[in-house]
Amino acid sequence: MDLGIRGKVALVTAASRGLGRGSAEALAEDGARIVLCARNEEALRDTEQAIAALGAEVLGIVADMADPTAPDRLIEATVERFGRLDIVVANAGGPPPASALELDDDAIRAAVEVNLLSAVRLVRGALPHMRAGGWGRLCCISSYSVVQPIPGLALSNTARSGLRAWAKTAAADLAAEGSGITLNLVCPGPHATERMRQLGGSGVTMGDPADFGRVVAFICSAHAGFVNGATIVVDGGATLAL
């Protein structure tokens, strides 16, 4: 199936490896032009080359999604290079494990900054460009913890549920505008990435980041215009919550 995104410009954050990279590669395979960011310059350049080898135009920018100025800087650089912005995949690294009863204020603030506010800022910054084009796809990579909190990941559980509630509200506002812009959450269950290795999740059945990226690409496609405000869980059936 042709996703109908040839020539569209997609910004994918935190994309030098794992699920962000899988998403950027899937969008590139369908003809999108890609802007990606990561904190580490060397890893970023490697990924940039791999995406260029797929035949896509690509721009890599060093940026930390914990930095409140990063979203606007990325969007500005995207529009400067490509003259438009059609797709945003908002991703960032997950917070460290933490017990709910021992959280301190600074740890909560840091998780909210990276896993909630960075996405809100990206959406806010992207909207004027998408409205100008009369079309847009906003997709936040979240976690299956929004439907079933994960024991020991209190920071992730807390910040991501806030993002889910915000995104649902914002998606309804976008629908009311009738602007052709959608906003969805794609929520990974366990996938074979560095993050999962660090959390010691080697015993469970893992998804493939490339397949996850193809789900993201479909949600960002021309065909998914009526999918809005959805929480799409990609977990191989691991979550039992209804």
Cα→Cα distances 214→108, 126, 234, Å:
32, 22, 11
Across 7-108, the runs of DSSP E, i.e. the strands, are: 9-12, 33-38, 58-62, 87-90
Single out the residue of 64, 97, 222, 232 in contact with ligand NAD (rule: CB under 6 A): 64
The answer to whether 39 contacts ligand NAD (rule: CB under 6 A) is yes
Cα→Cα distances 96→115, 182, 196, Å:
12, 30, 12
Report CA dihedral (152, 154, 160, 163) to the nearest 10 degrees: 170
Please identify, using beta-carbon distances, which residue of 39 and 131 lies nearer to ligand NAD: 39
Q: How many of the other CB atoms lie within 10 Å of CB of 217?
A: 27
The answer to whether 228 contacts ligand NAD (rule: CB under 6 A) is no
Single out the residue of 73, 131, 168, 195 in contact with ligand NAD (rule: CB under 6 A): 195
**Range 79-138, binding ligand NAD (CB under 6 A):** 91-94, 114
The answer to whether 155 contacts ligand NAD (rule: CB under 6 A) is no
Looking at residue 56, the DSSP 8-state letter turns out to be: -
Please identify, using beta-carbon distances, which residue of 8 and 17 lies nearer to ligand NAD: 17
Total chain residues near ligand NAD (CB under 6 A): 27
Contact 163, 184 (CB under 8 A): no
Could you tell me which stretch among 9-17, 25-33, 78-86, 225-233 binds ligand NAD (CB under 6 A)? 9-17
Please identify, using beta-carbon distances, which residue of 9 and 147 lies nearer to ligand NAD: 147
Separation of alpha carbons 47 and 58, rounded Å: 10
Separation of alpha carbons 239 and 223, rounded Å: 27
The answer to whether 141 contacts ligand NAD (rule: CB under 6 A) is yes
In the complex, the smallest distance separating the C-beta of residue 159 from ligand NAD, rounded to whole angstroms, is: 10
Instruction: Spell out, one character per residue from 12 to 31, where the chain touches ligand NAD: x when CB under 6 A holds, - when not.
Output: --x-xxxxx-----------
Residue 2: CB partners within 8 Å, gap ≥ 6? 30
Footprint on this chain of ligand NAD (rule: CB under 6 A): 14, 16-20, 37-40, 64-66, 91-94, 114, 141, 143, 188, 190-191, 193-196
